[in-house]
Amino acid sequence: MKNRNILAFIGIFLIVSVCLQAQETESQEELAEPDKLFVRATIYPTANLSRYDYNNDVDLYEVRAYVELRDKTPIGDLIDNARVFVNSNLLDYKTDHYEKRIRIAKESLIEELDLRIKTQDGRIVKNTFLIPTWLILLNPRPEIIQASKDLLINWKYTRFEAPVDVFAYNFKTGKMIFEKPNLYNDEVMLPANLLPESTIVRVWVMQSWLYKRYLVGSSVVPGSEVVVIPWSQVFFRTE
């Protein structure tokens, strides 16, 4: 009789232990934080006076969006099966990131972008951020230009101003012909002796300082960021 009582006690003890362990495990699962995403978004507000060649795709404005997603840490596994949207435009996955060129009306340049991310396992990121400015070349225009004259390169900002880097190269040979970094004014002169004849020249200006903001929230890894880099380009012919 005594042995039966001992066995019954042991049985009850084991049942209670299993139940308590199950409750503890369940409580730990409830307290455990869900996996987070590391997000690195790079946005280029782009003003093309001519996109490829003289008088082709004149005044084409775009937001070029590139988004990298990693699992749990900045060096975690790449996530290639998420749905990533910028202003309701679905980005395409390319090798190691998502990207999209989003056409923007010249008459109504946007100042705000909406980023939405959803992974297949249900992780969601929602964030809205500002485009601080658009950087737009004013001169040269996509036209035929005499190589015997100095060439004025100037630009404007739609909102906040910052220094720019200015570049020009021979599009046919790929040779850089002019480079001026970190200019604080809004114009520079390209000397005639540097301008090649009978070719296509690409000129572009890019903001020297980038705008960066860190994403916060329960769904993102600390250090997740959005970087905005305004720039503008033009192609023209020389004679």
Q: Number of structural domains, the chain?
A: 1
For the entire predicted model, the pTM comes to 0.83
Helices (H), 153-205: none
Q: What is the pLDDT of residues 183-195, one digit of tens each?
A: 999 999 999 999 9
Which of the residues in the chain have pLDDT under 50? 7-10, 13-14, 16, 18, 20, 27-32
DSSP-assigned beta bridge partners for residue 47: 61, 232
Q: What is the DSSP letter of 78?
A: B
pLDDT of residue 9: 46
Element of type H or E holding 60: strand 58-71
The answer to whether position 164 is within a domain reads yes
Tell me if 205 sits within 8 A of 168, measured CB to CB. no
pLDDT, residue 216, reads 87
Domain around 216: 37-238
pLDDT at 4: 56
Antiparallel, parallel or unpaired: β 37-50 and 231-238: parallel
Q: What is the dihedral of CA 64, 42, 49, 105, to 10 degrees?
A: 50
pLDDT tens for residues 49-80?
A: 998 787 788 999 999 999 999 999 999 999 99
Does residue 1 lie within any of the structural domains? no
Tokens of 25: 């495990």
